[in-house]
Chain A
Amino acid sequence: MLYYVNININGADIKAPKGSSVLEVAIEYGICIPHLCHVPGLSDIGACRLCIVENITNGRATITTSCTLKVQEGMIIRTNTDRIKRLRHNIAELLVAEAPNSRAIQDIAVRCGVKEVRYPFRNGDCVLCGRCVRACSEIWHANALGFIGRGKERHVERPLNMREEYCKGCDYCLQLCPMTVPPCDGPMKPGEEYLCGKCESQLMITEDIPESCVWCRLGEGFNCGRYAGLKTVR
């Protein structure tokens, strides 16, 4: 039997299943919280920090990631305050400057309101969201991928850089990787650090970032939890 708790997200009173995370509940109810490292069905690690929300207790707002925050009775959550929007914009900007040629990261950045990027582009090919690593170890228990190194050296690698036989060839890592969505041929070059956003006509009608889910096509790009949820229903 499911137990429910009452929480409040952006002013809306919501009955949320106990044990679920704030992000899951928000997605379920069509409240848009951009996210990257969260994949429905995998554990949440709070690495990308895009899904930050304000959790208001005793009138004090603390910022935390909604994917790791479990719902509790009486919780008050704000997902789209000016402070959150600014911080989310800055995080998305860091991400897109790192991997400007990834369609998924571009989508996220546009969704978070990034137009110009204030850092030089780097053209990296991994943003270390850890989707592949968790999928590999949690769905198939294959442990064929893992993180190696720390800080700047951190990268995804096979065990000891050699044990290829661990891989079961399920391809799930490739499906989940935000880098494998074919890149656009937009102006993602060093020295031209801005996002055109042309391919996302649905969102660009309004300058404001919507608070609720508008089934924007951006979600397809980065495997938004809502799309993924829909896929599993099918």
Chain B
Amino acid sequence: MPHLNTKEDLEIMGKQLLLDREKINKTIIMCGGTGCTASRSRDVIDALNKELVIQEMDNEVHVRVTGCHGFCEQGPIAVIEPGNIFYCHINPEDAHDIVTKTVKNGEIIERLLYTDPVSGEKVCKESEIPFYKAQDRKLLFQNREVNPQSIEDYIAIGGFTALAKALDTLAPEEIIREIKISGLRGRGGGGFPTWRKWMECHEAPVDEKYVICNADEGDPGAYMDRCVLEGNPYLVIEGMLIGAYAIGATRGYIYVRNEYPLAVRHARNAVQQARRYGLLGENILGSSFSFDIDVARGGGAFVCGESTALMASLEGKVGEPRPKDVHTVVDGLWHKPTTLNNVETWANVPSIILKGASWFNSKGTRGSKGTKILALTGRIKNTGLVEVAMGTTIRHIVYDIGGGATNGKAIKAVQTGGPSGGCLSVDKFDLPVDFDVLYEAGSMVGSGGMVVMDESSCMVDVAKYFLTFLQDESCGKCVPCRLGIDRMLEIVTDITEGRGTLEQLELLEDLADTVTQTALCGLGKTAANPVLSTLRYFREEYEAHIIDNKCPAGVCKALIEYYIDPEKCTGCGTCKQACIHNAITGEKKEVHVINTDLCQKCGICRSECKFEAIQVS
């Protein structure tokens, strides 16, 4: 393995690798991300490789195992180049057909094609799938080009040229100015201008500085950081290298949560490979710049995603936030100036340096530039990771990319930004994904979680879910967060169980405001957002719980009752058999009845009934 001593070494190697790559003209791009691995993509990869050996095609066809493509619900997925043929839900048994039919003869296997849930038609090409077509994939697209375990793959597609450019032609101040013009803002949730962090850290008159990549992603349902770090760790490393050069740091850390074993493995492997090539270490690419990265594993606390808690954890202390009256860019890790950025922020840096700030800021709104990866989940047809330009409306994401509601139910709300964000009602769907606009609306872009809810979700229950999550994850250091969340949960639980009063609703608002204003860290300051935003947009649901003792969505068990609609019941007896509490009685072919004393409101009968005879009141 050659040690890259100069910029030219890198260029020559890149060209050579690209030539080697072009010699093999057939590629099966197989997703090996966490989602697809869970649906047995490793077995498919093994089967494909075996099949290629049997067919004696292993020299002309390359199986590239990549990181996540974003369409995890269709996994395992594969794209076959040339032809851009997209197959989904592949089984190991399909390997023979894929190799003999598609790879050898270019035939398309009908049963493996993707069916668009909106139109019901089969789609052959990856680029024609509406889910992908409606996106603007700048970061995610790179995932399918690179095997995350092979730095050669990354160098072949022009990796580390941004670093070479920065080291060769740009002064640290010029890099920071470029980032400033680009308008890049922190992707981890806060949306703080990245250049300002870098500038303050750069200006701090201390020799020893640190950069940290925050990959301690913990929002329920959000996994874009995992996808980027796991799918293309070199991009993150390159971003960190450029950032470290700009601020004058000598050491960096990737703090990745231990629940992401694949990301940990890929990041470690990438760091080792980069060291071997001399891209990390002393005098990188012949310059005077020296820098190294360590990968640290998080201990499993949500609060460790907060910058000061993360630094405390890195120092080996308990992962608890500390007051930030002095910013971490001045007094951070081991009391040295430290720049901490999110995975996605770092991953955006190389292209800004390489293609220029104007390329980056041509997309987006006035205050928010570039693209953002969102984790789209909930009651919609297409779920997965989507990357859109900032300023795209929520409506476009939910309906054009997500394909709209499943089961024909009306979409009611979208929850953005995880536990720190809020719920937006459907009349706010024309709002763009923009840090400032969503903040104004009482939610936030946050790390990019986006959960779509329909009529069957009770918003009070949603608030309760997030409060329960936050109560578990609060570190417990400061009073407003520890006791405030606890009391908010107490009140919301009262409301969902029919004990709520209107005075409590006022108290809830007052308390939520207190927590927002006085909590110690960012987690606490945003902890009341789920409550505040649901109160703002769905107050009538709270009031329905309190005044009418009804849960309009039929979720809160204490406030609902199941009954059988005599008009619709055919007396088939399915519900009677399904009920584990023996609460349903009735003779065959006669209307059945639910005994409400015995009924535990589990909902099994409702899901079993084919005639929609079981209703909730």
Interface residues of A (CB under 8 A from B): 45-50, 52, 63-65, 68-70, 83, 86-87, 90-91, 94-95, 97-98, 118-120, 127-128, 147, 149-154
B474 neighbours in A (Cβ, 8 Å): 150-152
Q: Are A151 and B473 in contact (CB under 8 A)?
A: yes
In the complex, the answer to whether B514 meets A128 with C-beta atoms within 8 Å is no
Interface flags, B295-313, vs A, CB<8A=1, else 0? 0000001010000000000
Query: Could you pull out 5 A-B pairs where Cβ atoms are within 8 angstroms?
Result: A65-B323, A70-B326, A83-B517, A94-B480, A152-B472
| Residue on B nearest A64 in the bound complex, by CB | B325
Contact of B479 among A49, A69, A149 (CB under 8 A): A49
Residues of B within 8 A of A153 (CB): 476
Most chain-A CB neighbours within 10 Å: which of B471, B480, B511, B518?
B518
**Cβ-defined contact, A63 with B507, below 8 A:** no
Contact present for B323 and A49 (CB under 8 Å): no
- Is the C-beta of B318 less than 8 angstroms from some C-beta in chain A? yes
List, in ascending order, chain B residues with CB within 8 A of A52's CB.
518
CA distance A45 to B318 in the complex (A): 14
CB contacts under 8 Å to A, within B460-476, are: 471-476
Further 13 A-B residue pairs, CB within 8 A, beyond A49-B518, A91-B514, A94-B483:
A45-B477, A48-B479, A49-B519, A50-B479, A64-B325, A65-B323, A86-B514, A87-B517, A94-B484, A95-B479, A128-B477, A150-B301, A153-B476
In the complex, what distance in Å separates the CA atom of A97 from the CA atom of B511? 13
Instruction: Determine the distance from Cα of A69 to Cα of B490 in the docked complex, in whole angstroms.
Output: 33
Give the distance in Å from the alpha carbon of A128 to the alpha carbon of B482 in the complex: 10
Which residues of chain B have C-beta atoms less than 8 A from A63's C-beta? 517-518
User: Do A90 and B482 have beta carbons less than 8 Å apart?
Assistant: no
In the complex formed, the residue of B with least CB distance to A21 is: B325
Interface positions of B from 77 to 133, Cβ below 8 Å from A: none
Residue numbers in A under 8 Å from B487 (CB-CB): 94, 97, 119
- Contacting residues, chain A, for B475 (C-beta < 8 A): 150-151, 154
Evaluate whether A45 and B322 lie within 8 angstroms (CB atoms) in the complex, with A94-B487, A151-B474, A152-B471 already known. Answer: yes
Collect the chain A residues with CB atoms within 8 Å of residue B318's CB: 147
In the assembled complex, the Cα of A154 lies from the Cα of B481 at a distance in Å of 13
CA distance in complex: A5, B103 (Å): 76
Those of B514-534 within 8 Å (CB) of chain A: 514, 517-520
Closest to A72 in B: B325
Interface status of B478 (Cβ within 8 A of chain A): yes
Report yes or no: B518 in contact with A87, Cβ–Cβ below 8 A. yes
Docked complex Cα distance between A48 and B483 (Å): 11
Pairwise interchain contact B483-A98, C-beta atoms closer than 8 A: yes
Bound-state CA distance A8–B171 (Å) is 42
The residue from A50, A64, A87 contacting B323, defined by CB atoms under 8 A apart: A64
Query: How long is the Cα–Cα vector from A127 to B486 in the complex, in angstroms?
Result: 13
**Chain B stretch 273-329: residues in CB contact (< 8 A) with chain A:** 301, 303, 318, 322-323, 325-326
B587 in contact (CB, < 8 A)? no
Q: A151 and B479 in contact (CB under 8 A), knowing A46-B323, A49-B518?
A: no
B510 contacts chain A at the CB level, 8 A cutoff: yes
- Distance to closest chain A CB from B58 (angstroms): 52
The residue in A63, A64, A87 that gathers the most chain B C-beta atoms within 10 A of its C-beta is A87
On whether the beta carbons of A70 and B325 are closer than 8 Å, the reply is yes
Identify the interface centre among B475, B482, B519: most chain A CB within 10 Å of its CB.
B482
Complex Cα–Cα for A118 and B476 (A) = 22
Q: What residue in chain B is nearest A83 (Cβ atoms)?
A: B517
* Contact among B325, B471, B510 for A151, CB-based, below 8 A: B471
* Given known A64-B325, A119-B487, A128-B482, contact A149–B476 (CB-CB < 8 A): yes
Are A128 and B476 in touch, CB under 8 angstroms? Answer: yes
When the two chains form the complex, which single residue of B473, B477, B518 contacts A91, counting CB atoms closer than 8 Å?
A: B518
Which residue of the partner chain A has the closest CB to B486? A152
Bound state CA distance, A80 and B479, in angstroms?
Answer: 20
A87 close to B514 (CB less than 8 A): yes
Q: For residue A94, which residues in chain B have a CB less than 8 angstroms away from its CB?
A: 479-480, 483-484, 487, 511
Min CB gap A104→B, angstroms: 14
Render B598-615 as a binary contact track against A, CB cut-off 8 A, 1 for contact.
000000000000000000
Q: What residues of chain B lie closer than 8 Å to A118, measured between beta carbons? A: 503, 507
Q: Are A150 and B476 in contact (CB under 8 A)?
A: yes
**A215 CB to nearest chain B CB (Å):** 26
The CA-CA distance from A90 to B511 in the complex, in Å, is: 7
The answer for the CA separation of A68 and B323 in the assembled complex, in Å, is 7
Asked whether, in the complex, the Cβ of B478 is within 8 Å of the Cβ of A46, the reply is yes
Q: Which residue of A lies closest to B490 (CB)?
A: A119
- The B482-505 residues at the A interface (CB cut-off 8 A) are 482-484, 486-487, 490, 503
- A68 CA / B507 CA spacing, docked (Å): 29
List A contacts of B482 (CB < 8 A): 128, 151-152, 154
Find A47's partner among B326, B477, B486, B514 (CB 8 Å cutoff): B477
Min CB–CB distance A89 → chain B (angstroms): 9
The CA-CA distance from A95 to B478 in the complex, in Å, is: 11
Q: Mark B229-264, 1 if CB is under 8 A from A, else 0.
A: 000000000000000000000000000000000000
A120 contact set on B, CB distance < 8 A: 490
Q: Closest approach, in angstroms, between the C-beta of B509 and any C-beta of chain A?
A: 11
* C-alpha gap A65/B511 in the complex (Å): 18
- Are A68's CB and B519's CB within 8 A? no
The CA-CA distance from A80 to B33 in the complex, in Å, is: 55
Most buried by A among B318, B322, B479, B520: B479
Please determine whether A47 and B480 come into contact, CB atoms closer than 8 angstroms.
no
Q: How far is the CA of A31 from the CA of B449 in the complex (A)?
A: 46
Are A152 and B514 in contact, CB atoms less than 8 angstroms apart? no
Q: How far is the CB of B122 from chain A (nearest CB, A)?
A: 49
